[in-house]
Amino acid sequence: MSRQYYIAGNWKMHKTRAEAAGLAQALVSQLQDGKHKYLVAPSFTALETVGAVVKGSNILLGAQDVAAEEQGAHTGEVSVLQLKDVGVQVVILGHSERRHTYKEDDALINKKVKLALKHGLDVILCVGETLEEREAGQAEVVCESQTIWGLSGVSAADLARVTIAYEPVWAIGTGKTATPEDADAIHAYIRKVIGRLYGEDAAKNICIQYGGSVKPDNAAQLMAKENIDGALVGGASLKAETFVPIAKFA
Ligand code: 13P
């Protein structure tokens, strides 16, 4: 398999700068012998602080969102140029909390994806169905449609800088994890969609992370699945003692 495991921590709306720096320092030292690809995504306010800590390490700096416009009168938003200015390399887009709590639709998310890629940032595009959609047998079509929409207008060359994160909404922060088999089935389906859009090589190479109650005790079983290439971790990424064992799953 040519794909590399990619373990990312989404810190969501947690941590002051001092707390964020402490966690970042612990991760830099404890992951320096880690064999996979790593990312942390702190709040905007801690980006510069954490960026200074992870600089030169094997941990990438990510943001949790970006504005859909380059600049202008957009009170409360943070632009792609501002993210680059503080050293951000990757941006998480389409997270279910953005989609559902803040009502971001596929068109807006697609605009952000294209803008981030245009400015040289890598993208983690999140997709995933709600419990209601899963129970109605729509998990695959929802993920398919979010993938197609999210990537609309993205070239094959730019796709190389995109990671997909499958995060079933019902598994986020609930302690309910998709079984490795259920997650793998959706990952395989998303990979097929990528193949249809971009060809077999792209499908083989795209990294698809799983997110939703990933913990030290379930990471290895998830990662053992053929189509699961990494994790996007929320709650368990807030402490080194829970993130490091996930990042170094055996
Ligand atoms: P939890 O790991 O807390 O379920 O969160 C997952 C997530 O939303 C990561 O983006």
Testing ligand 1's pocket by substitution, the residue of 6, 7, 10 carrying the most ligand atoms inside 8 A of its CB is 10
Homologous superfamily (CATH) for 93-213: Aldolase class I (3.20.20.70)
Q: What is the pLDDT of residue 74?
A: 98
Q: Which of 97, 144, 167, 187 is catalytic?
A: 167
Contacting residues for 216 by C-beta, under 8 A, at least 6 apart = 236, 242, 245, 246, 249
Q: Report the atom number in ligand 1 closest to the C-alpha of 172.
A: 4
Q: What are phi and psi of 50, to 5 degrees?
A: -70, -35
Q: What is the pLDDT of residue 9?
A: 99
| 40 pocket-lining for ligand 1 (C-beta < 6 Å) | no
Testing ligand 1's pocket by substitution, the residue of 11, 12, 65, 102 carrying the most ligand atoms inside 8 A of its CB is 12
- pTM for the predicted model, two decimal places: 0.98
Q: Tell me if residue 226 is catalytic.
A: no
Q: What is the pLDDT of residue 176?
A: 87
| 173 pocket-lining for ligand 1 (C-beta < 6 Å) | yes
Atom 2, ligand 1: residue with shortest CA distance: 234
Q: Tell me if residue 100 is catalytic.
A: no
Q: What is the pLDDT of residue 83?
A: 98
**DSSP 8-state secondary structure symbol assigned to residue 73:** S
- Number of alpha carbons in the 13 Å side-chain half-sphere of residue 235: 12
Q: What is the pLDDT of residue 134?
A: 95
Q: What is the pLDDT of residue 175?
A: 87
In this structure, how many other beta carbons lie within 10 angstroms of the beta carbon of residue 239? 12
The CA distance from 153 to 166, in Å, is 21
Would you write out the chain's pLDDT as a tens digit for each of its 250 residues?
479 999 999 999 999 999 999 999 999 999 999 999 999 999 999 999 999 999 999 999 999 999 999 999 999 999 999 999 999 999 999 999 999 999 999 999 999 999 999 999 999 999 999 999 999 999 999 999 999 999 999 999 999 999 999 999 999 989 888 899 999 999 999 999 999 999 999 999 999 999 999 999 999 999 999 999 999 999 999 999 999 999 999 8
| 213 pocket-lining for ligand 1 (C-beta < 6 Å) | yes
Domain layout of the chain by residue ranges: 1-64+214-250, 93-213
| 167 pocket-lining for ligand 1 (C-beta < 6 Å) | yes
Q: Which fold has domain 1-64+214-250?
A: TIM Barrel (3.20.20)
